[in-house]
């Protein structure tokens, strides 16, 4: 909170600086008191305590983040401030304040900073909390029951407590996370972006939150150079191997042989390629059919936007409109929804179903097709591949069904509140996959979040938390088998 306070004070915006400065002091003292009060606390069940703390962080921290934001924004309610902070901390990035000049620059900085902290919290919790409990996508590779702990997790838990593991993993992850953010910020400044705009782009790219300071990526000053830089750093959310200290059950596999990288590459070729080729396959009478410049802009717009929504970031390329006109698709909302639902890599800041689960289901389907032709055949690829096609695919299918049930419940809840089905579906996918910009780009008429009722925002806020934590982790928290550990 001291960073937006200092930023606002430099520009003499003391109405914004004071709430953040006082909030920093108040919540620092509160944290110290809570830390002292719980210093000797020893939970009966360490796994359940970790999962409860993980879920509690997404319930409690946005309330703290919303206090100075509510005081600094004129003519708003605390419910709106809470929804904005839930959206930021879960790296969803959807905003209610879409009117130009509605928020001060320091408030945009706070939104992007909360999203960036939320991205690091996801990385840290995935490695230090979810992976030892065989959750967060690791269960697909290990073949063990989710929530019961992977092989060797018991020894790890006894050798080092939860706090020790979090400190150790944070000391490994944070320098890389901070350094990459700083590097992208400097590169964007060199490309021609202004200071705050470049900083918000850098924070949002590494956290895949898609939060800006009111200037969309499509209108970036740096143009194509800025988009190329952001594209390169968004690729970090495809695989967990891009950062140190990652969850590596299959350590012997190179990054080029990584299943998630291969599947993401397939979609990065398929989706822009189909949009590009549809120009001729649809026999559209365009004047620039032989215009090489228009063809390149259309291809790049499709490639950048595909990467953006596959990693659940939600940035739109300046050439995305050219890609839509080139392909003849007036509203390619289903394409964006499908990409966001697949999501990025496990143990990354991306949301969605995750590429590894999609890959496991695809390989299982391929194996079943082979068995229809050759019932007595034996699947190759070694023990790891067989485990992925069998137990991994089984767990991935369970997660997929829970994912679909979550969509159905949230859509039904929004429909009962009077929201139209199309809007409810888009908002549900945007919330559960943590891809907030879908509310603007996936429909012909952008959905204005400020017009939603308080109950609808509470439903969407809960969906964001469920999508970020993942339903398997919540079920593991409620399972009696975890209580006895």
Tell me: the pLDDT tens digits for 17-71? 999 999 999 999 999 999 999 888 888 777 788 888 899 999 999 999 999 999 9
Give the residue among 142, 65, 35 at the shortest CA–CA distance from 396: 142
SS3 content of the chain, % helix, strand, coil (to 5): 70, 0, 30
Tell me: the pLDDT tens digits for 190-242? 998 888 999 999 999 999 999 988 888 888 888 889 999 999 999 999 988 88
Distance CA 111, CA 97 (A): 11
Share of the chain above pLDDT 90, in %: 47
**Which of 146-155, 242-251, 318-327 has the weakest average pLDDT?**
146-155
pLDDT at 380 over 80: no
Give pLDDT, residue 128. 85
Distance CA 388, CA 252 (A): 15
Contact 207, 120 (CB under 8 A): yes
Q: Quick one: pLDDT band at residue 156, thresholds 50, 70, 90?
A: very low
Give pLDDT, residue 155. 43
pLDDT at 158 over 60: no
Give the residue among 427, 447, 275 at the shortest CA–CA distance from 337: 427
Tell me: the pLDDT tens digits for 389-404? 788 888 889 999 999 9
Contacts of 472 (CB under 8 A, 6+ apart): 135, 139, 146, 147, 398, 399, 402
Contact 436, 210 (CB under 8 A): yes
pLDDT mean across residues, the chain: 85
pLDDT at 153 over 80: no
Name the more confident of 74 and 24: 24
Give pLDDT, residue 305. 92
Contact 437, 316 (CB under 8 A): yes
Q: Quick one: pLDDT band at residue 161, thresholds 50, 70, 90?
A: low
Q: Quick one: pLDDT band at residue 143, thresholds 50, 70, 90?
A: low
Tell me: the pLDDT tens digits for 336-373? 999 999 988 888 899 889 999 999 999 888 888 888 88
Contact 472, 135 (CB under 8 A): yes
How far CA 222 is from CA of 82, 188, 195, 292, in Å, comes to 33, 7, 12, 22
pLDDT at 170 over 60: yes
Give pLDDT, residue 159. 46
Contact 411, 421 (CB under 8 A): yes
Tell me: the pLDDT tens digits for 237-284? 998 888 887 666 666 677 888 889 999 999 999 988 888 777 665 544
pTM beyond cutoff 0.75: yes
pLDDT at 485 over 50: no
Give pLDDT, residue 247. 63
Distance CA 117, CA 338 (A): 27
pLDDT at 294 over 80: no
Give the residue among 397, 384, 419, 443 at the shortest CA–CA distance from 146: 397
pLDDT at 152 over 50: no
């Amino acid at each position: 909170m001291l960073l937006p306070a200092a930023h606002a004070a430099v520009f003499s915006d003391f109405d914004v600086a004071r709430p953040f400065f006082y909030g920093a002091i108040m919540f620092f003292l509160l944290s110290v008191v809570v830390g002292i009060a719980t210093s000797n606390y020893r939970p009966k069940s360490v796994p359940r305590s970790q999962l409860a703390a993980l879920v509690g962080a997404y319930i409690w921290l946005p309330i703290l983040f919303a206090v100075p934001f509510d005081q600094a924004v004129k003519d708003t309610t605390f419910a709106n401030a809470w929804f904005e902070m839930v959206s930021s901390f879960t790296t969803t990035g959807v905003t209610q304040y879409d009117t130009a000049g509605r928020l001060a620059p320091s408030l945009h900085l706070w939104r992007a900073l909360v999203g960036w902290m939320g991205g690091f919290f996801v990385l840290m919790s995935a490695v230090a909390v979810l992976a030892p409990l065989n959750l967060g996508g690791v269960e697909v590779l290990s073949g063990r029951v989710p929530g019961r702990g992977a092989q060797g997790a018991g020894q790890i838990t006894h050798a080092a407590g939860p706090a020790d593991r979090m400190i150790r993993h944070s000391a490994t992850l944070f320098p890389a996370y901070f350094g990459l953010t700083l590097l992208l910020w400097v590169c964007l400044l060199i490309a021609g972006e202004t200071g705050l705009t470049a900083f918000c782009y850098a924070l949002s790219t590494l956290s895949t939150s898609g939060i800006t300071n009111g200037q969309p990526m499509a209108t970036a000053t740096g143009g194509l150079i800025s988009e190329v830089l952001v594209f390169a750093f968004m690729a970090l959310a495809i695989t967990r191997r891009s950062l140190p200290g990652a969850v590596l059950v299959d350590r012997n596999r190179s990054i080029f042989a990584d299943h998630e990288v291969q599947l993401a590459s397939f979609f990065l070729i398929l989706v822009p390629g189909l949009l590009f080729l549809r120009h001729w396959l649809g026999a559209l009478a365009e004047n620039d059919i032989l215009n090489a410049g228009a063809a390149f802009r259309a291809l790049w717009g499709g490639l950048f936007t595909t990467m953006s929504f596959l990693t659940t970031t939600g940035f739109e390329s300046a050439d995305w409109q050219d890609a839509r006109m080139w392909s003849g698709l007036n509203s390619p909302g289903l394409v964006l929804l499908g990409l966001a639902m697949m999501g990025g890599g496990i143990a990354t800041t991306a949301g969605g179903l995750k590429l590894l689960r999609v890959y496991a289901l695809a390989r299982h389907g391929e194996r079943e097709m082979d068995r229809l032709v050759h019932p007595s055949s034996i699947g190759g690829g070694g023990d790891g591949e067989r485990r992925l096609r069998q137990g991994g695919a089984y767990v991935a299918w369970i997660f997929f069904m829970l994912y679909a049930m979550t969509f159905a419940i949230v859509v039904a809840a929004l429909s009962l509140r009077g929201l139209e089905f199309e809007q409810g579906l888009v908002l549900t996918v945007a919330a559960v996959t943590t891809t907030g910009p879908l509310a603007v780009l996936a429909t012909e008429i952008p959905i204005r979040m400020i017009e939603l009722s308080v109950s609808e925002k509470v439903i969407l806020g809960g969906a964001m938390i469920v999508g970020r934590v993942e339903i398997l982790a919540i079920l593991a928290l409620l399972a009696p088998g975890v209580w006895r550990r």
